[in-house]
């Protein structure tokens, strides 16, 4: 079928409800566009599991702080439509801030607790914006399943918590990080890096790899693993640590010992570009 492109929330909702009435299952892949191989893996997985796939492309202003990169965030809708079509999407939803946030809009969805650590520290309003827009996107697209990358592991935990707490009838599917051949996690923000920075950015995946190797060899002291990760990053002159933390994967509470699923997560500035990466360690 032809790829449908729509920008009005009400039109997308009407299409989704029509599909649901026909008994079709719907998958949603929320994105900020500038789609890369990570997004492609989400869309392909959705297409393999759902009858209809809706990809949203929306650089959501309410999840950016005043000094963040809302204005410079890369955009390329033509490329996004092509990639979405090739990966099996049926509808691309391209709203504008004006159609998503009507005059007088004043409702926020907040998730407490899970948003205190990691990115919540340096991006205080970020997850309020994420939770609110994802709640809206789910209500618009009426998906049976919604797909998110594990690179944004805290976002994934927040959205799992929100949809469970608000009894939203949707299954949240987390998908593995997709990396460049040299290890750098795919991100639309990698486009900000110049050649030298691109090379320096490898310290993120390399430091995590070092931590994971220690765990595989039997290290059980969480702090030693974190220290090794931090030490590796500190040795790269172009890198500046925002955080290096080990938290419970569901509650995003800091952990001192290995139990359940532990998320080792880092955020690092390479020049002016802030990058994140992580891995899960299941005990």
Q: Which residues are catalytic?
A: 39
Q: Which helix (H) or strand (E) holds 209?
A: helix 202-216
Given candidates 251, 255, 258, 271, which one binds a copy of itself under the rule CB under 8 A? Answer: 251
Q: Write the interaction track for a copy of itself spanning residues 216-235; mark x where CB under 8 A is met and - where it is not.
A: --------------------
Among 53, 83, 131, 267, binds a copy of itself (CB under 8 A): 131
| 144 versus 180: smaller Cβ distance to a copy of itself | 144
Report in angstroms how near the CB of residue 10 gets to a copy of itself at its nearest: 8
Q: In this structure, are residues 51 and 89 in contact, taking their beta carbons and an 8 Å threshold?
A: no
Please state the closest distance from residue 78 (CB atom) to a copy of itself, in A: 27
103 contacts a copy of itself (rule: CB under 8 A): no
**Among residue numbers 1 through 30, which ones bind a copy of itself (CB under 8 A)?**
9, 13, 17, 20-21, 23
Distances in Å between the alpha carbon of 100 and those of 8, 10, 45, 51, 154?
Answer: 8, 10, 27, 26, 24
**113 vs 231 by CB, closer to a copy of itself:** 113
CA atoms of 266 and 245, how far apart (whole Å): 6
Contact with a copy of itself (CB under 8 A): which of 44, 136, 186, 189?
136
Please compute Rg for the chain using Cα positions.
19
Helix 153-165 to helix 126-141 angle (10° resolution) is 60
Please name the residues in contact with 186: beta carbons below 8 A apart, sequence gap of 6 or more. Answer: 36, 37, 38, 151, 177, 178, 179, 180
| Candidates 26-34, 110-118, 214-222, 272-280; binding stretch for a copy of itself (CB under 8 A) | 110-118
Q: Which is nearer to a copy of itself, 12 or 178 (CB)?
A: 12
> In this chain, which stretch among 54-62, 107-115, 172-180, 204-212 interacts with a copy of itself, using CB under 8 A?
107-115
- Please give the order of strands across the beta sheet that includes 52-57: 4-6, 91-93, 52-57, 26-31, 145-149, 171-175
Q: Of the two residues 137 and 184, which places its CB atom closer to a copy of itself in the complex?
A: 137
Identify the residue whose tokens are 């040299």: 182
Query: How many CB atoms neighbour CB 251 within 10 A?
Result: 14
159 and 134 Cβ atoms separated by less than 8 Å: yes
Spatial distance between the Cα atoms of 19 and 33, rounded to a whole number of angstroms:
24
Min separation Cβ 220 and a copy of itself, Å: 26
Query: Which residues in the 143-182 window bind a copy of itself by CB under 8 A?
Result: 161-162, 164-169
Is 105 a residue that touches a copy of itself (CB under 8 A)? yes
Residues 6+ apart with CB under 8 A from 221: none
Q: Which of residues 46 and 159 has its CB atom nearest to a copy of itself in the complex?
A: 159
Residue list 57-96, contact with a copy of itself (CB under 8 A): none
Residue 73 CB coordination number (10 Å):
18
109 binds a copy of itself (CB under 8 A): yes
Q: Closer to a copy of itself at the Cβ: 103 or 237? A: 103
Can you read off the two tokens belonging to residue 94?
A: 């391209």
Cα–Cα separations (whole angstroms), residue 111 to 30, 65, 96, 105, 137:
19, 17, 25, 19, 17
By the criterion CB under 8 A, which residues form the site for a copy of itself?
Answer: 9, 13, 17, 20-21, 23, 102, 104-114, 131-132, 135-136, 139-140, 142, 161-162, 164-169, 250-251
């Amino acid at each position: 079928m032809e790829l449908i492109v729509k920008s009005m929330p009400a039109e997308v909702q009407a299409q989704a409800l029509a599909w649901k009435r026909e008994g079709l299952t719907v998958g949603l892949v929320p994105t900020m566009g500038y789609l890369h191989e990570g997004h492609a893996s989400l869309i392909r997985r959705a297409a393999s599991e759902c009858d209809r796939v809706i990809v949203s492309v929306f650089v959501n202003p309410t999840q950016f702080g005043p000094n963040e990169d809302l204005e410079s965030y890369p955009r390329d809708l033509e490329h996004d439509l092509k990639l979405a079509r090739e990966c099996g999407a049926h509808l691309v939803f391209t709203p504008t801030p004006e159609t998503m946030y009507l005059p007088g809009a004043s409702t926020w969805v907040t998730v407490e607790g899970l948003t205190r650590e990691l990115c919540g520290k340096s991006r205080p309003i970020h997850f309020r914006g994420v939770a609110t827009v994802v709640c809206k996107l789910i209500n618009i697209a009426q998906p049976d399943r919604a797909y998110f990358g594990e690179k944004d592991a805290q976002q994934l935990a927040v959205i799992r918590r929100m949809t469970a707490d608000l009894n939203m009838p949707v299954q949240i599917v987390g998908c593995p990080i997709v990396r460049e051949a040299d290890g750098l996690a795919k991100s639309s923000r990698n486009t900000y890096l110049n050649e030298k920075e691109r090379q320096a950015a490898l310290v993120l995946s390399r430091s995590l790899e070092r931590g994971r190797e220690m765990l595989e060899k039997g290290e059980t002291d969480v702090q030693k693993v974190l220290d090794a990760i931090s030490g590796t990053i500190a040795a790269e002159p172009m890198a500046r640590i925002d955080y290096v933390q080990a938290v419970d994967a569901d509650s995003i509470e800091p952990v001192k010992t290995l139990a359940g699923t532990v998320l080792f997560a880092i955020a690092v500035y390479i020049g002016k570009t802030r990058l994140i990466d992580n891995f899960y360690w299941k005990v």
